[in-house]
Amino acid sequence: MDDLVEGILDYVRSDYTDYAIMINGEWGAGKTHFWNTRIRKKIESLQLNGKQYTTIYMSLYGISNLEEISKKIFIETTQIMDKNLKRYMNTHSQTTIPEYAKTGIDMANLFGVTQNGDKVDYEKFFSTDDKVLCFDDLERANVDVIDILGYINNFVEHDHIKTILICNEKELSTKLKSSNIEMKTFIATYLLDKQGELLKVDKPMVEKIKDKIEHVFDKANDYERIKEKLIGETFEYAPKFDYIINGILMRYENDKELIKFLRANTGFIISTFNKSGTRNLRILKHSLNDFKKIFEMLNKYYPNTNNRVLQTMLIFTIAVSFEIKAGKITKDKFVNIQNNEEYKSILVSSRVLLDTRQFYIKEFDSNYYYNFKAEYRFFKFIEYYVRTRIFDMKLFKDDMETIRNTVDTENLPAYRRLLTEEYWKIPDNQFESMINEIIEDVRNGNIELIDMVKIFAYFSFFSRKQLIDYDLKSLKTIFFNGMNISSLNSKYCENVDEELGKIAIEEVSEDMEEIIKYFNQLNNQLKDKMYTEKAEEIFKCIPMKMETFYERFDKECMQIPIFKYYDVYQMFQRISCASNEDIVIIKERLLARVNKYQKEIEPEMKNIKMLKQVIDDYLKGKETTIKMVMLKDFSNDLEYILSKYKTGFLPKKQEVQEEV
């Protein structure tokens, strides 16, 4: 880095130059910081031919026209002439003027406020051999880069002012090629058509359009030509990040506990930064600020957090920040991962089964946690905080309570450990006791039904490998009985294939077919139980809580055959007690539903037939009223719904009686 500083100073010291120099480096790598801390002060300390150099720095970020550059230069040069301003800056050790203050100074100068009657020193104002111009963020200007370079060339070629440009040439090249691509494509296609090239099949159309765009609009070549004329030397800014990162940590010196922890784990910070594959120090600074907030909350609510967990949180905060903020992934990549257990399950299945859908998680874990062992490696509250900028206290406390109970594998239930940890990592001296504990939980039905199936896959595998003393026949008996007990308290599993895909063994035995078949029977019973409870909750809102009924029916029942799970006669009683208006609204809901989800709701058609028959029987011999007309219309619409299906439309009366 010292060689880079000397190279730039040699350019400034040269008696005569008709070229500028460029400092090239990636975004966030610290180029502007390098200018402010290493270059500017060195230049302003130079005295050559009795003159002391002055630097004039301008960021081109967001500049929309060349006049704005002229304005910035004018403000900077007029500040040099203002003695009071110079005296104030020296007294307060102020080296730069804030942008908002420059605007005020500019307006003050316009109205003659700040010069205090001093005459303008035109000799000093017109002097150019003691000034160094620095233009930063060239690639972020909203003005054509070619125009900016032509503008800057005036200072360099005609006035021979020492000029330094700071930019990211890689981004500049991308910007030159991608600007106005729709317009360029349209014009290129138009020209090809006029030249009779569109109908020729000598080369692919995409390639023709690309070649024509490059021929007509190749700003990249224009840039190279003017750069060759303007830029005499290009210096690559490749900082020593270890040194810079240690400097970044100095901002936390006032927080004794935090800086102590960060200093002790600087190696992890540097290692994670390097593994990110970027050179963006700006993102690193943001991630450390995020960790400062996390560290403060931990000290406040969980002061005795395990040091290994803190280290993992530090790595995870930095890693997720780079993955999201450097644009390497979309923000949604982690959204559906709810906790560490799910993260580890996905990780295990991606490793063993080569699940390409989860390939990213495998790469993330292998990269950032390489040679770093930790059982708890995913923190939902941190991911959510980095992604949304909201520190969710509920997520925070949920994560921390889980960590308290699971960070030590001795406190983790044996079956849960088997499902979230590669079995080959279990020490031999713990394996037998784990198996015995799991068998006991299976016998007592203490495990969720879907997890029973997963665990049987492992036990079947262990039996065939002679790792356990249970034969397959005995195992099936134990698991069948345990599944019966478990089904009393388990919840219906909707995504069975996805859950079974998390089984982390290479081969699945044929015995699994029996277990899965029995699981499906029990799971369907759980489904019926779940929908029966749902139907009871929703239909009991008729007729007194119709708004709640409509809301829940639209949200939860449009695609499920909910009528299958509710007694037809109770349904009729509730509908007949509803207002005429509500009867009309309900039948309109049913018509819209069958037209959209005909296949999904077919299982409820038997009850729909019965409901129609019950309504028809009720209407016989009744005096005509508006209510009776509404119910008759309701029956007719039920007939229309039934007509959508190939099976018999209307049940016979005796069928209804038999059902009763």
Instruction: State the pLDDT confidence band at 548, using cuts at 50, 70 and 90.
Output: very high
Contacts for 62 with CB less than 8 Å, ≥ 6 apart: 140, 141, 142
d(CA 70, CA 79): 14
Angstrom CA distances, 498 to 14, 357, 473, stand at: 69, 11, 27
Instruction: State the pLDDT confidence band at 99, using cuts at 50, 70 and 90.
Output: very low
d(CA 237, CA 8): 12
What number of other Cβ atoms are within 10 A of residue 520's Cβ? 13
DSSP per-residue codes, 27-70: TTSSHHHHIIIIIHHHHHT-EETTEE-EEEEEE-TT--SHHHHH
Token readout for 465 is 């490998």
What pLDDT, on the 0 to 100 scale, is given for residue 441?
Answer: 95
Contacts for 400 with CB less than 8 Å, ≥ 6 apart: 298, 301, 302, 305
The dotted CATH code for 2-176 is: 3.40.50
Contact present, 549 and 541 (Cβ < 8 Å): yes
Contact present, 572 and 542 (Cβ < 8 Å): no
Contacts for 549 with CB less than 8 Å, ≥ 6 apart: 538, 539, 541, 542
- Mean pLDDT of all residues in 299-316: 90
Instruction: State the pLDDT confidence band at 331, using cuts at 50, 70 and 90.
Output: low
**Host H or E run for residue 23:** strand 20-24
Instruction: State the pLDDT confidence band at 654, using cuts at 50, 70 and 90.
Output: very low
Angle at 296 (CA atoms; ends 261, 245), nearest 5 degrees: 40
Token readout for 477 is 């008996």
Radius of gyration of the chain (CA): 37
Beta strand 51-52 with 131-136: parallel, antiparallel or unpaired?
unpaired
Where residue 100 falls (left for φ over 0; alpha for ψ -120 to 50; beta otherwise) is: alpha
Contact present, 305 and 298 (Cβ < 8 Å): yes
- Mean pLDDT of all residues in 58-83: 72
- Judged against a pLDDT cut of 60, whether residue 81 lies above it is answered with no
- Three-class DSSP category at 183: helix
pLDDT tens for each residue of 608-627: 999 999 999 999 999 999 99
Contacts for 29 with CB less than 8 Å, ≥ 6 apart: 237, 239, 279, 280, 281
- Mean pLDDT of all residues in 54-61: 86
Angstrom CA distances, 53 to 7, 16, 19, stand at: 17, 15, 18
Contacts for 497 with CB less than 8 Å, ≥ 6 apart: none
Contact present, 9 and 46 (Cβ < 8 Å): yes
d(CA 634, CA 18): 91
In the block, which residue shows the tokens 């007309």?
629
**Letter string b/e over residues 92-111, b meaning 16 or more CB atoms within 10 A of that residue's CB:** eeeeeeeeeebeebbeebee
- Three-class DSSP category at 595: helix
pLDDT tens for each residue of 222-238: 667 777 778 888 888 87
Contact present, 6 and 14 (Cβ < 8 Å): no
Token readout for 238 is 């490749």
Instruction: State the pLDDT confidence band at 108, using cuts at 50, 70 and 90.
Output: low
Token readout for 10 is 């040699």
- Judged against a pLDDT cut of 80, whether residue 574 lies above it is answered with yes
- Strands (E) across 421-513 are located at none
Angstrom CA distances, 193 to 185, 201, 211, stand at: 12, 13, 14
H helices within 281-330, ranges in order?
A: 281-301, 307-325
d(CA 566, CA 658): 17
Q: Which of 369, 387, 366 lies closest to 272 in space, CA to CA?
A: 369
Token readout for 82 is 């203002």
pLDDT tens for each residue of 248-257: 888 899 999 9
d(CA 264, CA 632): 80
- Judged against a pLDDT cut of 50, whether residue 351 lies above it is answered with no
d(CA 199, CA 333): 44
